[in-house]
A and B are shown apart, each in its own frame.
Chain A
């Protein structure tokens, strides 16, 4: 888990309703996360989270792929995770604990344990724009915190950014509930700061 060489990856995982057969679902899903992440062939570009944050704010209304820094993120393999929060709160609903646990299991697996990840919080356009931006940021940070504390993932491997309603899913109404989502992107091999 210490210093490793540098490469790259990205994840987006879609976990909706969790089936009752948890053991089986977990196997399949963890495998999906791991194989999804393993698909990255080229090195990931250097990512600056603060730049991404600024670019999301100033570039609102544009596609992710139309923004210079976000377009790099958009090219990385990724997964969308459905994590439900209490209304207007950073509190994750207990029904979503399992999803976080699966992500943690995947991040602790040797296939992925060398990589670092970006958690992106998205909001729908329902409600005040600035409030949505802040809340999505706090929720992304909350997910990072859960992974780093409850699930013992090295916090130095995790980055969090909230983009509010800047990037709705293409072809959806901006106020659609499925635009409230969390995106996980693998940012490449983790190297500890010297």
Chain B
């Protein structure tokens, strides 16, 4: 019985760890856009010459030329969009998710940067807040 629950615990732990790892794979803008430049640079030069990155123009152009764009680039765009949005969600959620920890562990500290530094140093910060910081890319 105890053996079985240990096994169950191990499996559960493995799942949590795995989920944690998947979540942690949010990407910085720098890494995300580098992947896009690496995987789509050729296609952008070929099909979107003169278009600029901002305003969704490159994304629109790649979409319009989907039939000709390389599969590597297409896959890259999908993953880049996803990882950026995961990180944005984590950054947006941070203040709320970590509110309790900030009140409890970093009371009286002024400045958002100093508060973050306090949370990062504090080992007792809740798992949720800790994960939000990781996903936000702030370690």
28 contacts between A and B (CB under 8 A): A29-B30, A86-B49, A89-B50, A91-B49, A91-B50, A91-B51, A92-B52, A94-B41, A94-B44, A97-B53, A98-B33, A101-B30, A101-B32, A104-B29, A104-B30, A108-B91, A109-B138, A110-B112, A111-B112, A111-B116, A114-B112, A145-B52, A146-B52, A148-B54, A149-B55, A150-B33, A151-B29, A152-B88
Count A interface residues, CB 8 Å. Answer: 35
B:19-67 near A, CB below 8 Å: 28-34, 36-37, 40-41, 44-45, 49-56
Pick the residue among B37, B50, B91 that contacts A95 (CB under 8 A).
Answer: B37
Q: Name the prevailing secondary structure of the B interface residues.
A: helix
| Interface pair B37/A94, CB less than 8 Å apart | yes
| Interface pair B31/A22, CB less than 8 Å apart | yes
B127 located at the interface, meaning its Cβ lies under 8 Å from any Cβ of chain A in the complex: no
Chain B residue nearest in CB terms to A4: B112
| Interface pair A146/B54, CB less than 8 Å apart | yes
Count B interface residues, CB 8 Å. Answer: 29
As a 0/1 sequence over residues 76 to 100 of chain A, the CB contacts with chain B under 8 angstroms (1 = contact) are 0000000000100111101101101
Q: Which residues of B contact A (CB under 8 A)?
A: 28-34, 36-37, 40-41, 44-45, 49-56, 88, 91, 112-113, 115-116, 137-138
The docked-state distance in angstroms from the alpha carbon of A110 to that of B55 is 25
**Which of A23, A94, A113 neighbours the largest number of chain B CB atoms within 10 Å of its CB?**
A94
The smallest C-beta distance from B106 to any residue of chain A, in angstroms, reads 12
| Interface pair B30/A102, CB less than 8 Å apart | yes
Count contacts between A and B, CB distance < 8 Å. 92
A36 located at the interface, meaning its Cβ lies under 8 Å from any Cβ of chain B in the complex: no
The docked-state distance in angstroms from the alpha carbon of A80 to that of B41 is 24
A60 located at the interface, meaning its Cβ lies under 8 Å from any Cβ of chain B in the complex: no
Task: Sort A-B residue pairs by CB-CB distance and give the 7 closest, nearest first.
Answer: A111-B113, A101-B30, A145-B54, A110-B112, A101-B29, A101-B33, A146-B54
Q: List the A side residues contacting B138 at CB < 8 Å.
A: 109-110
Chain A residue nearest in CB terms to B42: A94
A67 located at the interface, meaning its Cβ lies under 8 Å from any Cβ of chain B in the complex: no
A154 located at the interface, meaning its Cβ lies under 8 Å from any Cβ of chain B in the complex: no
Q: Which residues of A contact B (CB under 8 A)?
A: 22-23, 26, 29-30, 38, 86, 89-92, 94-95, 97-98, 100-102, 104-105, 108-114, 142, 145-146, 148-152
The docked-state distance in angstroms from the alpha carbon of A94 to that of B51 is 11
| Interface pair A98/B34, CB less than 8 Å apart | yes
The smallest C-beta distance from B95 to any residue of chain A, in angstroms, reads 8
The docked-state distance in angstroms from the alpha carbon of A23 to that of B12 is 31
| Interface pair A110/B28, CB less than 8 Å apart | no
| Interface pair B116/A30, CB less than 8 Å apart | no
| Interface pair A142/B52, CB less than 8 Å apart | yes
The docked-state distance in angstroms from the alpha carbon of A148 to that of B30 is 15
Q: List the A side residues contacting B113 at CB < 8 Å.
A: 38, 109-112
**Which of B30, B45, B53 neighbours the largest number of chain A CB atoms within 10 Å of its CB?**
B30
The docked-state distance in angstroms from the alpha carbon of A104 to that of B50 is 22
